Structure 1
Amino acid sequence: MKIVIVDDDRLVGISLKTIIEASGEAEVAAVGYNGLDAIRLYADLKPDILLMDIRMDAMTGLEAGARILQDHPEAKILYLTTFADDEYIVRALKIGAKGYILKQDFESILPALKAVYAGQSVFGEDIVAKIPSLLSRGEKTDLAGCGVTGKEAEIIALIAEGLSNREIAGRLYLSEGTVRNSISVIMDKLSFKRRTQLAIFYYKSARE
């Protein structure tokens, strides 16, 4: 897998490149240092994953991520930061980031990259604990009122847990193709483009 790293701390960027490439499982195509670099490098290199910090000069990682995903909806962005601010987590989810992990959880970086590459969403344990309460702030969403069936609601709930299509298929005793088709139907019903939007939708509907 091809990775682009963007972090305003040059030492961190170089260290991450060394660690990731030492695994032999990934190539770091470039290292950038702010959000503007991220936009340019993604457009030029089309990496499999963009591993990016949030607080940076010139343009933040969240601003850059929103711009990139607007132009390239297929982009896989994994945020790696020291900050677990509620606002940052919610914004990362809403723009469609594939993951949000903390730099303190250093050993999780490579497994997180591999999971995102495989199509999963990845959020560190500290982040996962916050998500339901964060996303349930605001008006509750009515699943049935949006035309979502019971089985579709089950699939949405498992997506919100971060399960892949294969894992969902195993949990619900369905074929992977059926799950994939069902997700396409759900996305069409709700006019969504990214799986992360389904997680937000689910947690709003689950609020008491």
Structure 2
Amino acid sequence: MNIIIVDDDAFVSASLKIILESYSDITVLATGANGHDAISLYDTYIPDVLLMDIRMEGMDGLTASKEIITGHSDAKILLLTTFADDDYIIKAIRTGAKGYILKQDFETVASAITAVHNGQTVFGNEIMNKIPTLLQAEDRFDYPSYNLTEKEFELIRLIADGLNNKEIAEQLFLSEGTVRNYLSNILMKLDLRDRTQVACFYYKNLL
């Protein structure tokens, strides 16, 4: 698994590089110091995962994430920060980042990178506990105008609960193929990109 580390603290970058390269399946391709570096390095290397700080001089990690995801819709970005800032969490979710963990949880960084690489969305426990409250505070949306069926609503709820297609199929007594079809319809109706955005949509608008 090839990754890039971007952090304006050279000591943090070097420490993370040493820690992560102790794992046989992780290779650090390059390190950068700000959002401009992140964009340039991503375009050059197309890593499996970009591990990036949020607060950086020149260009912050959220702005860089938005730029990268605009050009690479399948980019997997894991944000690493010292701050469990409410505004940062909302912006990270809306930007399409695949995870947001705190630097003090350094012992979970390797497993978080692996999870993101495998298509999962990762938020530290402290952050995960905040998400429903933060997103409920946003203006609610008239979801019936999106023509969602009762079954689609139920599937959205299960996605938000973290269930995969197989688990959803078992719970709703459907085939995995049918679940995939429902998910495709939901993404089209809501103009969303992936499961992460479906979960965020649920917490923001439907909970």
**TM-score, length-scaled by structure 1:** 0.92
C-alpha contact (below 8 Å) 1:98/1:121 kept by paired residues: yes
Work out the CA distance in 2 between the residues paired with 1:195 and 1:119. 10
Q: Which residue of 2 aligns with 1:16?
A: 16
Q: Which residue of 2 aligns with 1:160?
A: 160
How far is the alpha carbon of 1:173 from its aligned partner? 4.6
- SS of residue in 1 equivalent to 2:59: coil
Corresponding letter in the other structure for 2:15? S
Corresponding letter in the other structure for 1:150? E
How far is the alpha carbon of 1:167 from its aligned partner? 4.4
How far is the alpha carbon of 1:174 from its aligned partner? 4.0
Q: Which residue of 2 aligns with 1:131?
A: 131
Deviates more, 1:144-153 or 1:118-127: 144-153
C-alpha contact (below 8 Å) 1:35/1:60 kept by paired residues: yes
Work out the CA distance in 1 between the residues paired with 2:7 and 2:53. 5
Cα 1:176–1:13 shift into 2, 3 Å: farther
How far is the alpha carbon of 1:137 from its aligned partner? 1.8
Q: Which residue of 1 aligns with 2:192?
A: 192
Work out the CA distance in 1 between the residues paired with 2:202 and 2:128. 14
How far is the alpha carbon of 1:83 from its aligned partner? 0.6
* Counterpart check, 1:91 vs 2:98: no
How far is the alpha carbon of 1:85 from its aligned partner? 0.4
Corresponding letter in the other structure for 2:180? R
Q: Which residue of 1 aligns with 2:49?
A: 49
* Counterpart check, 1:122 vs 2:113: no
Work out the CA distance in 2 between the residues paired with 1:5 and 1:166. 33
The percent of aligned pairs where both chains have the same amino acid is 55
Cα 1:169–1:11 shift into 2, 3 Å: farther
Work out the CA distance in 1 between the residues paired with 2:48 and 2:169. 25
Deviations 1:121-153 (A, max 9, x none): 111100111001111123212333311222222
C-alpha contact (below 8 Å) 1:159/1:199 kept by paired residues: yes
Corresponding letter in the other structure for 2:117? Y
* Counterpart check, 1:101 vs 2:91: no
- SS of residue in 1 equivalent to 2:24: coil
- SS of residue in 2 equivalent to 1:156: helix
C-alpha contact (below 8 Å) 2:36/2:59 kept by paired residues: yes
Work out the CA distance in 1 between the residues paired with 2:169 and 2:118. 15
* RMSD, matched Cα: 1.7
Cα 1:39–1:133 shift into 2, 3 Å: same
Q: Which residue of 2 aligns with 1:32?
A: 32
Deviates more, 1:134-143 or 1:62-71: 134-143
Work out the CA distance in 2 between the residues paired with 1:100 and 1:127. 8
How far is the alpha carbon of 1:177 from its aligned partner? 3.5
Cα 1:141–1:56 shift into 2, 3 Å: same
How far is the alpha carbon of 1:190 from its aligned partner? 1.0
- SS of residue in 2 equivalent to 1:105: helix
Equivalent residues, number: 207
Cα 1:34–1:163 shift into 2, 3 Å: farther
Corresponding letter in the other structure for 2:150? G
How far is the alpha carbon of 1:171 from its aligned partner? 4.5
